[in-house]
Amino acid sequence: MHRKPPTRDIDEADLSVSPPKDQAAGVTAVAVALERAVEEMGVLRTARTLARVNQRHGFDCPGCAWPEPTGHRRPAEFCENGAKAVAEEATLRTVTPEFFATHSVAELAGKSGYWLGQQGRLTHPMVLRPGDTHYSPIAWPEAHRLIADTLRGLADPDEAVFYTSGRTANETAFLYQLLVRSFGTNNLPDCSNMCHESSGTALTGSIGIGKGSVSIDDFAAADLIIVAGQNPGTNHPRMLSALAAAKEAGARVIAVNPLPETGLIGFRDPQTVKGFTTGITIADDFLQIRLGGDMALFQGLARLLFEAEDRAPGTVVDRMFVDTHTAGFAEYEKQMRAVDLDEVLLATGLTRAQLEHTARLLAASEATIICWAMGLTQQRHGVATIEEATNLLLLRGMIGKPGAGVCPVRGHSNVQGDRTMGIWEKMPESFLAALDSEFGITTPREHGWDTVDCIRAMRDGRAKVFVGMGGNFVSATPDTAVTEAALRNCELTVQVSTKLNRSHLVHGRTALILPTLGRTDLDLQDGVRQQVSVEDSMSMVHLSTGRLRPVSEQLRSEVAIVCELALELFGPDHPVPWARFRRDYDLIRDAIARVVPGCADYNRKVRGRNGFQLPHPPRDNREFRTASGKANFAVNELQWPRIPAGRLLLQTLRSHDQYNTTVYGLDDRYRGIHNARRVVLVHPDDITEFGFRDGDSVDLISEFDDGVQRRVSDFRIVGYPTPRGNAAAYYPETNPLVPLDHVAERSNTPVSKAVLIRLEPHRHPAP
């Protein structure tokens, strides 16, 4: 049965605001999850599909990268937002050639991303040729030929860019980077460039590997867990269960965030009896920090830890660990002892008592985990901030110890695995040499472009072909006007997608939409069922098996799309066995086993009860593969954003009804925002000081020193308990405010959590 799509688009006039909630999840979350799932899939398909999410022989949730428990799995191993992600993908609604014949590209471009996503699954490959007003169907071989001909016609392989979204499974990612490098370029931007690149850069320098050092079981063994710049209640909801279990086992949780997010305050675990009655408070301490003040916090804490060490020598600094495993301690100590605590209080907005209390907890804890997400990474000084968090843990000997370590919490479900499989514009020589030796090819060595550099290249005409393996590039990236112009500047844009999105409507001179299987779909190659594998935030790799009959026989798996394109591009005599890879994904995993470090015996290990965990030398045996051979204390000058009078520092964020660029619905239930999205959350005293009233309609104008005026119009002011001087609004609506060149130092990540804005009254056009 194909269900009718809703036809009504967002009407911002429907906005209603209620007080923020103080409890996350609970019965309401279950009800919302089931309602959305049944609406999209019907009762039977809902029951069959949700029963398999995150189960051992089921499929990996296409939502976030939070790991599954290693022990017993409950019948419902998903959260409200996981259920929404599954419902979006497994929907029975379809977008057919008839749909495209009815709706012109111009008409669709006027719809919201929410409306586009609600139309359903793409069913056929479609093409838009120069001068066309509507997409029309194209046969698969012709689509592949069109791409291959265009690629072959480029003057240089570097004129093409190949983007990857974090949903892409390991097998596809491995083959995709192999295709791209066989073609002759390292232009492999990915969504990680825009989220945890700062984490990877910082951790690689500090501990020699850009991944987190904790496992899911460490949470229950921790004394102290700091959750900084992160909203797990919406973005990684099952993390709340891990935090709740840690608290039951005696851990203390400190939340560090500009907004008092509901999930950090109260949590009702719908899987427990207690969750249906009282719920629990997650954060024992809430440090409501000013945007961008985290680096100051970590440095201030370090200074207080050194003072505590002076008062009781040998009790705070883990001398054995520092002397044996680290480098740069003396310089770090000198710098931290000189930190100005008054400046720290100014930068953070915290009190001296809060700082001292937190330092006491850190000094007393025998096992500390620091978790973080975009609140830290998308700052101008995001890399240095994460280095300072890591410094604190090194000082206390908290790496490679049960219940302790660094925990960057990844967003999209396989974003970490894609990087492991080689999706990076600057993979190390050892990886490229292994590829060459495995396949008898010569891969390019010159580094490619990341996301920001790709946009610059397309804008300037240096890149002419864009291929997107999943994702919604135009809505995920900053500086929307620039990014849209960059894509329109391309000769060809190709989007491999499950659903309609804005990136199909902002296109090159020729555009292709290639419909693909999702995680939930049965993947048959020559009649044999295939499985894919993924890696979670804690380096666990496991299989994912879709079982739903695809909504159209025209859908191809991402692996098949890559292999068929490669055959068209390179011909049948290419040294890579593309045709065999397409027929049997075990053969891809065998190749991965020989090329990718830590993946030996991949096919056997990935079929183990929980899959397998990739090696992590600092976690496993306190081995640090840095240039010094030790963990490095980084030394940084304190940085924090100053906000001029009359201005606000804006962070862009998701609503609770949203995952990355996918908008599932119009309720940000926990924050009390309903039916609309163009809102800006501002402290009530700032609203008054700027001469506005709650509910006024305003334009947001960002200020950056490039002379370009970036404005988004007609946002409603909502009084909210943000820190003074800080504001928040949803993306992608506010992406136009983030300048392309406003990036984090060293990681090139757009700094969406540090956009200086002013508010102006919105002038409604004359009737």
Residues within the interface to ligand SF4 (CB under 6 A): 61, 63-64, 66, 78-79, 81-82, 85, 236-238
User: Shortest distance, CB of residue 83 to ligand SF4, whole angstroms?
Assistant: 7
Q: Toward ligand SF4, which CB reaches closer, 415 or 599?
A: 415
User: Shortest distance, CB of residue 61 to ligand SF4, whole angstroms?
Assistant: 3
User: Shortest distance, CB of residue 55 to ligand SF4, whole angstroms?
Assistant: 11
Q: Toward ligand SF4, which CB reaches closer, 187 or 414?
A: 414
Q: Toward ligand SF4, which CB reaches closer, 63 or 266?
A: 63
User: Shortest distance, CB of residue 257 to ligand SF4, whole angstroms?
Assistant: 18
User: Shortest distance, CB of residue 448 to ligand SF4, whole angstroms?
Assistant: 30
User: Shortest distance, CB of residue 609 to ligand SF4, whole angstroms?
Assistant: 19
In angstroms, rounded to a whole number, what is the distance separating the alpha carbons of residues 717 and 687?
A: 8
User: Shortest distance, CB of residue 431 to ligand SF4, whole angstroms?
Assistant: 27
User: Shortest distance, CB of residue 553 to ligand SF4, whole angstroms?
Assistant: 29
User: Shortest distance, CB of residue 52 to ligand SF4, whole angstroms?
Assistant: 12
DSSP character string of 689-721: HTT--TT-EEEEEE--TTS--EEEEEEEEEE--
For 257, phi then psi, to 5°, come to -160, 145
Q: Toward ligand SF4, which CB reaches closer, 85 or 151?
A: 85
Q: Toward ligand SF4, which CB reaches closer, 237 or 408?
A: 237
DSSP 318: -
Bridge pairing between strands 266-268 and 24-25: parallel
The C-alpha torsion from 622 through 241 and 294 to 661, rounded to 10°, is: 110
**Contact (CB, 8 A) for 322 and 394:** yes
CA atoms within 13 A on the CB side of 643: 25
Residue carrying structure tokens 């409603």: 716
In angstroms, rounded to a whole number, what is the distance separating the alpha carbons of residues 47 and 42?
A: 9
Q: Toward ligand SF4, which CB reaches closer, 166 or 258?
A: 166
Q: Toward ligand SF4, which CB reaches closer, 150 or 661?
A: 661
In angstroms, rounded to a whole number, what is the distance separating the alpha carbons of residues 374 and 272?
A: 30
Strand, helix or coil for residue 580: helix
User: Shortest distance, CB of residue 414 to ligand SF4, whole angstroms?
Assistant: 11
Residue carrying structure tokens 């079929």: 607
**Contact (CB, 8 A) for 700 and 734:** yes
- Among 163, 63, 155, 153, smallest CA distance to 483 is for 163
Q: Toward ligand SF4, which CB reaches closer, 233 or 618?
A: 233
User: Shortest distance, CB of residue 214 to ligand SF4, whole angstroms?
Assistant: 16
Copy the structure tokens of residue 185.
């370029």
User: Shortest distance, CB of residue 201 to ligand SF4, whole angstroms?
Assistant: 25
- Residues shown for the chain: 767
User: Shortest distance, CB of residue 232 to ligand SF4, whole angstroms?
Assistant: 8
Strand, helix or coil for residue 458: helix
Q: Toward ligand SF4, which CB reaches closer, 81 or 168?
A: 81
- Angle formed by the axes of helices 329-337 and 294-311, nearest 10°: 100
Q: Toward ligand SF4, which CB reaches closer, 354 or 655?
A: 655
CA atoms within 13 A on the CB side of 319: 4
- Among 224, 265, 336, smallest CA distance to 21 is for 265
What CA–CA distances, in Å, run from 721 to 261, 375, 396? 10, 17, 34
H/E stretch holding 25 reads strand 24-25
Copy the structure tokens of residue 453.
């550099």
DSSP character string of 177-230: HHHHHHHT-----BGGGGTTHHHHHHHHHHHSSSS----GGGGGG-SEEEEES-
Q: Toward ligand SF4, which CB reaches closer, 167 or 380?
A: 167
Q: Toward ligand SF4, which CB reaches closer, 78 or 612?
A: 78
In angstroms, rounded to a whole number, what is the distance separating the alpha carbons of residues 402 and 735?
A: 40
> With the C-alpha atoms ordered 638, 644, 646, 651, is the resulting torsion angle positive or negative?
negative
Q: Toward ligand SF4, which CB reaches closer, 78 or 100?
A: 78
DSSP 158: G
User: Shortest distance, CB of residue 235 to ligand SF4, whole angstroms?
Assistant: 8
Q: Toward ligand SF4, which CB reaches closer, 55 or 348?
A: 55
Beta strands in 258-347 (DSSP E): 266-268, 280-281, 285-288, 326-327
User: Shortest distance, CB of residue 680 to ligand SF4, whole angstroms?
Assistant: 27
Q: Toward ligand SF4, which CB reaches closer, 64 or 398?
A: 64
Copy the structure tokens of residue 451.
């996301």
User: Shortest distance, CB of residue 485 to ligand SF4, whole angstroms?
Assistant: 34
User: Shortest distance, CB of residue 285 to ligand SF4, whole angstroms?
Assistant: 24
Copy the structure tokens of residue 546.
């879709």
Q: Toward ligand SF4, which CB reaches closer, 532 or 680?
A: 532
User: Shortest distance, CB of residue 601 to ligand SF4, whole angstroms?
Assistant: 26
DSSP 609: B
**Contact (CB, 8 A) for 383 and 196:** no
ω into 732 cis (within 30 of 0): yes
Q: Toward ligand SF4, which CB reaches closer, 388 or 668?
A: 668
Cβ neighbours of residue 608 under 8 Å, at least 6 residues apart? none
- Among 262, 536, 258, smallest CA distance to 407 is for 536
Displacement of CA 392 from its chain's centroid (Å): 25
In angstroms, rounded to a whole number, what is the distance separating the alpha carbons of residues 193 and 454?
A: 11
DSSP character string of 40-78: HH-HHHHHHHHTTBT-TTSB--SSB-PPPPSS---S---
**Contact (CB, 8 A) for 485 and 520:** no
Q: Toward ligand SF4, which CB reaches closer, 85 or 606?
A: 85
